């Protein structure tokens, strides 16, 4: 009996202890929950502790303050990154305008994405995961890099254009014939590591530090020196063929004079130095002098509308491509054999297997039209518009093919029938080809939109141009970029027909309607900004008293239109085309006999922008 009573007392004691333990646990849970809820409530409209955007600490800031801090930092980043090369300072801006008014992008910041990432820290997952993340922030901050769309190629080109004159090419010692053979001494090279500089600029931006990037010159040592070649001078003529060399494989043989052949000889290391036919020198010659005579693009057939019927006016032709390395190897081999004729290695590209008429399959009706006016254009601009329209006319875009305006236009210079117009570039008047071709890009853009085709690349002009009103519906093009591109997703061939009617340009897209419904709104234009007063620049490039102005000043503005395509299967694709136009200051050059001290000259420091009198 006593034993049972003892056991009962032990049980009661354990129960009391268990109740105490459960009570403490419950109190702890309530306490911790209260703390967590309190933290949740405190940071409901704040950025969590330990959150950084680049090198900018946003911990605990209320959202309004954090957003203001972010925008202030964004403004600083948009002022550009400073690059120093040999004492010269160069600013890499987000974008600038090239010589013909086309925009060139270097980088742009996605501040909206950055803000979303900031707010998502400690909030984007489930309750447990969020609190684990918040706890980890006490020990390790969450560093968000600035979301940047970075055009590394454009940045590198700007660096090369502005700092490349500081470089000096590395030259190997070589042999050269000038009334006898002589040794050309080697030269130590000085080069800039552009890839490293481009990466450092990106790091400066993504971290938000805006640290200046210094480009340093590095020595590049030649491997072949003069002393290696002195003993080879007397052995050169033994290798030269008696006759000139004929390269076969194209319509007319390509003659290479014996004097040119001498330049293909060069030293190589093979158990000591010896002279041989250097394939790298031969390949360089082929690239510089021969490839343009050999290479031909595949030419699709071209069609025209005549009496309501589509007819062929240019039949399809195959293309060909010079195999440079293979040809260089064959030439070296045949020269060693003493031959004076060599057949080039050429690849024939036969992508046109079907007949011309097969390209007309699916071309039954107009599916879209684009128009624009070039009233008031000068003579050369009108000529270039007609020439560009001719280059597009009759082109067939196959199903699934991406159309590229720059590829279609090809080379833009005198050889393809274009005329020049004067542009103001770094305080000088310079003739440039192609004025008017943005009329082609704009009209094609409008036709593609009207056809309901996906636009894969399009850029508006940096400033409003009267020829392309209403604002927001233009498309600038410039060789090699920006380009206008669209995709043929109709499932049938489409045919592009261009017409110049008085002051109007009309592009017709022929194909087969597949039932898609296209809606594009009229542009909304807002944020009108007046330009600065006309800027006058003295120049000695014009006769004294002569005044040469750029196009008239343009208001800045923003514009957008909405594009909606509903496909027969019910799929809907929507896109907003937004355009930003900077206020454009008119610039005039005035001819003077000598520049005043206050007038900037073409040798004044590196500029971020140029002005142009050429309205594309």
* DSSP letters for 289-331: IIHHHH-B--B--EEEEETTEEEEEE--B-EEEE-HHHHHHHH
Q: Which residues touch 236 (CB under 8 Å, ≥6 apart)? A: 175, 177, 181, 262, 265, 275
Interval 266-287 mean pLDDT:
88
Interval 198-205 mean pLDDT:
93
**pLDDT tens digit string along 328-357?**
999 999 998 889 999 999 998 875 545 556
Residue 93: strand, helix, or coil: coil
Say whether pLDDT at 297 is over 60.
yes
> How many whole angstroms separate alpha carbon 597 and alpha carbon 400?
60
Say whether pLDDT at 462 is over 60.
yes
pLDDT at 615: 43
Cis peptide before 11 (omega within 30 of 0): no
pLDDT at 43: 75
CA 66 to chain centre: 33
| Strand locations in 230-280 (E) | 245-248, 254-256, 265-269, 273-277
Residue 396: strand, helix, or coil: strand
- Reference 478, options 426, 430, 440, 431; nearest CA is 440
Say whether pLDDT at 484 is over 60.
yes
Interval 223-232 mean pLDDT:
84
What percent helix, strand, coil does the chain show, rounded to 5? 30, 30, 40
End-to-end CA distance of the chain: 111
- Reference 526, options 564, 562, 579, 577; nearest CA is 579
**pLDDT tens digit string along 549-600?**
766 788 889 999 999 999 999 999 999 999 988 888 887 888 888 887 554 4
pLDDT at 602: 35
The tokens of 251 are what?
A: 């319509």
- Reference 131, options 36, 45, 49; nearest CA is 36
> How many whole angstroms separate alpha carbon 75 and alpha carbon 35?
38
**pLDDT tens digit string along 399-456?**
999 999 999 999 999 989 999 875 545 545 457 788 889 999 999 999 999 999 999 9
- Reference 316, options 257, 417, 395; nearest CA is 395
With contact defined as beta carbons under 8 Å apart, do 520 and 563 qualify?
yes
Name beta bridge partners: 304: 311
Question: At which residue do the structure tokens 């071709």 appear?
Answer: 437
Say whether pLDDT at 611 is over 50.
no
Interval 539-543 mean pLDDT:
83
Neighbouring C-beta atoms of residue 302, cutoff 10 Å = 18
With contact defined as beta carbons under 8 Å apart, do 188 and 139 qualify?
no
Interval 13-27 mean pLDDT:
73
- Reference 82, options 205, 165, 217, 164; nearest CA is 205
The tokens of 164 are what?
A: 């490349």
**pLDDT tens digit string along 93-125?**
988 876 655 668 888 888 888 888 998 988 888
pLDDT at 307: 59
Say whether pLDDT at 247 is over 90.
yes
Q: Which residues touch 281 (CB under 8 Å, ≥6 apart)? A: 263, 264, 265, 266
> How many whole angstroms separate alpha carbon 138 and alpha carbon 50?
7
226 vs 552, residue with greater confidence: 226
> How many whole angstroms separate alpha carbon 143 and alpha carbon 159?
30
For residue 572, CA distances in Å to 289, 400, 521, 562 come to: 51, 19, 16, 13
Prediction pTM value? 0.59
pLDDT level of residue 481 (50, 70, 90 thresholds): confident
Residue 402 φ then ψ, to 5°: -95, 125
- Reference 585, options 541, 549, 540, 616; nearest CA is 549
Kindly state the DSSP code that residue 337 receives in the 8-state scheme: T
pLDDT at 519: 96
Among 342-356, 422-436, 489-503, 521-535, the minimum mean pLDDT is found in: 422-436
For residue 465, CA distances in Å to 120, 448, 460, 504 come to: 42, 21, 10, 16
Residue 3: strand, helix, or coil: helix
Residue 401: strand, helix, or coil: coil
125 vs 301, residue with greater confidence: 125
The tokens of 492 are what?
A: 């049938």
pLDDT at 324: 95
With contact defined as beta carbons under 8 Å apart, do 297 and 346 qualify?
no
CA 330 to chain centre: 37
pLDDT at 614: 36
For residue 26, CA distances in Å to 18, 33, 34, 132, 334 come to: 12, 10, 12, 21, 94
**pLDDT tens digit string along 41-73?**
777 788 888 889 988 899 888 888 988 888 888
- Reference 403, options 490, 464, 336; nearest CA is 490
Mean residue pLDDT of the chain comes to: 84
Interval 132-142 mean pLDDT:
86
Q: Which helix (H) or strand (E) holds 544?
A: none
Percentage of the residues of the chain whose pLDDT score is greater than 90: 40
> How many whole angstroms separate alpha carbon 529 and alpha carbon 97?
18
> How many whole angstroms separate alpha carbon 382 and alpha carbon 158?
32
> How many whole angstroms separate alpha carbon 103 and alpha carbon 162?
18
């Amino acid at each position: 009996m006593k034993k049972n009573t003892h056991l009962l007392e032990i049980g009661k004691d354990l129960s009391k202890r268990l109740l105490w333990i459960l009570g403490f646990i419950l109190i702890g849970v309530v306490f911790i929950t209260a703390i967590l809820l309190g933290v949740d409530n405190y940071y409901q409209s704040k950025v969590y502790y330990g959150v950084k955007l680049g090198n900018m600490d946003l911990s605990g800031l209320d959202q309004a303050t954090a957003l203001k801090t972010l925008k202030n930092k964004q403004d600083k980043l948009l002022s550009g990154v400073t690059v120093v090369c040999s004492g010269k300072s160069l600013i890499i801006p987000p974008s600038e305008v090239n010589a013909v008014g086309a925009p060139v992008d270097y980088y742009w910041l996605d501040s909206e994405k950055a803000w979303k990432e900031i707010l998502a820290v400690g909030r984007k997952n489930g309750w447990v995961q969020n609190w684990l993340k918040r706890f980890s922030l006490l020990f390790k901050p969450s560093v968000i890099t600035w979301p940047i769309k970075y055009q590394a190629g454009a940045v590198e080109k700007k660096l090369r254009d502005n700092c490349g004159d500081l470089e000096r090419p590395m030259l190997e010692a070589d042999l050269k014939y000038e009334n006898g053979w002589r040794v050309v001494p080697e030269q130590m090279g000085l080069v800039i590591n552009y890839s490293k500089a481009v990466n450092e600029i990106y790091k400066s931006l993504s971290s938000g530090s805006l640290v200046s990037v210094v480009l340093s010159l590095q020595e590049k040592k030649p491997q072949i020196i003069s002393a290696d070649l002195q003993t080879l001078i007397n052995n050169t003529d033994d290798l030269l063929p008696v006759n000139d060399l004929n390269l076969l494989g194209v319509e007319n043989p390509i003659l290479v004079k014996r004097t040119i052949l001498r330049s293909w000889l060069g030293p190589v290391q093979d158990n000591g130095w010896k002279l041989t036919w250097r394939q790298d020198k031969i390949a360089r010659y082929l690239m510089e002098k021969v490839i343009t005579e050999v290479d031909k693009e595949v030419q699709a057939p071209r069609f025209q509308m005549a009496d309501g019927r589509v007819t062929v006016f240019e039949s399809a032709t195959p293309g060909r491509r010079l195999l440079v390395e293979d040809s260089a190897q064959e030439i070296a081999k045949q020269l060693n054999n003493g031959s004076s004729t060599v057949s080039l290695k050429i690849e024939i590209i036969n992508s046109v297997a079907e007949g011309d008429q097969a390209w007309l399959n699916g071309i039954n009706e107009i599916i879209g039209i684009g128009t624009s006016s070039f009233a008031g254009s000068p003579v050369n601009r009108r000529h270039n518009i007609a020439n560009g329209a001719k280059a597009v006319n009759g082109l067939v875009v196959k199903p699934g093919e991406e159309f590229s305006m720059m590829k279609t236009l090809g080379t833009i210079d005198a050889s393809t029938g274009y005329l020049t117009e004067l542009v103001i570039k770094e305080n000088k008047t310079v003739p440039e080809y192609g004025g008017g071709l943005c009329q082609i890009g704009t009209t094609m853009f409008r036709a593609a939109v009207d056809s309901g085709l996906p636009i894969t690349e399009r850029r508006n002009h940096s400033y409003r141009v009267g020829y392309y009103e209403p604002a927001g519906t233009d498309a600038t093009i410039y060789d090699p970029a920006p380009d206008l591109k669209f995709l043929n997703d109709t499932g049938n061939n489409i045919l592009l027909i261009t017409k110049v009617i008085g002051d109007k340009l009309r592009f017709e897209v022929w194909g087969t309607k597949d039932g898609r419904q296209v809606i594009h709104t009229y542009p909304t234009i807002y944020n009108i900004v007046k330009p600065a007063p006309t800027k006058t620049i003295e120049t000695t490039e014009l006769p004294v008293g002569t005044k040469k102005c750029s196009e008239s000043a343009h208001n800045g503005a923003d514009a957008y239109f909405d594009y909606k395509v509903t496909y027969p299967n019910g799929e809907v694709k929507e896109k907003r085309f937004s355009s930003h136009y900077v206020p454009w200051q008119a610039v005039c050059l005035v001819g003077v006999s000598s520049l005043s001290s206050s007038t900037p000259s073409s040798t004044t420091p590196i500029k971020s922008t140029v002005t142009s009198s050429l309205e594309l």
